[in-house]
Homo-oligomer: A and B are copies of this chain.
């Protein structure tokens, strides 16, 4: 039946390319668009095209931005002496949302993963090192994910950065806020006890 309406079949196929959206959900979304007014559908189509036209990468920190350098790199109110390294722009957004960091950023666009063939040359590693040379940076906070790939990337970067005489740190491990100790995994409890703080 969908085959007899090629433009509907085509949209279902396009929406089905999104991660986590199967054929059923794609069909549901397409039918929703069909019931929307033309101007509403146009607004969505334009937003998609505009995103690709306007958003690029900052030539300094490689975060996504509409202006180059990005607002985070040009904000004079941020601390030049501490640089936070993240895997993806989404991670940067999570840290910004927490309002816990007021330094600069550097986005790697991934993590080392030999199994997937991702080496340092596929990430913004050379750009990071070039940035650190002759810079006011005193500390690099490596906020890659706490996965095997993220940890390996952190260790790899630390080894490269230490010779530059710059301190390297990682966010603390511990019990997540609001947790019931009973349900926290053992490894996290070990780290939390080791890192205990006097109150």
List residues of A whose CB falls within 8 A of some B CB: 1-2, 4-8, 10-11, 13-15, 17-21, 25, 27-34, 38, 40-55, 64-66, 70-72, 88-90, 92-93, 96-97
Contact = CB atoms under 8 A, between A and B. Distances in A.
A109 to B, nearest CB: 9
Given A28-B19, A32-B19, A48 B1 contact: no
Contact of A50 (B10, B19, B53): B10
A2 B64 CA distance: 10
Contacts of A27: 90
A7 B47 contact: yes
A16 to B, nearest CB: 11
Contact of A33 (B5, B43, B52, B65): B52
Interface centre among A40, A44, A88, A93 (most CB of B within 10 A): A44
A7 B41 contact: no
A66 B6 contact: yes
A15 B51 CA distance: 13
Contacts of A70: 4
A40 to B, nearest CB: 8
Contact of A44 (B48, B53, B65, B88): B48
6 contacts: A6-B66, A7-B47, A11-B50, A14-B47, A34-B64, A45-B46
B31 A89 contact: yes
Contacts of A71: 4
Contact of A30 (B4, B43, B51, B54): B51
A7 B42 contact: no
Closest 6 CB pairs of A and B: A45-B45, A1-B96, A11-B47, A7-B54, A45-B48, A1-B93
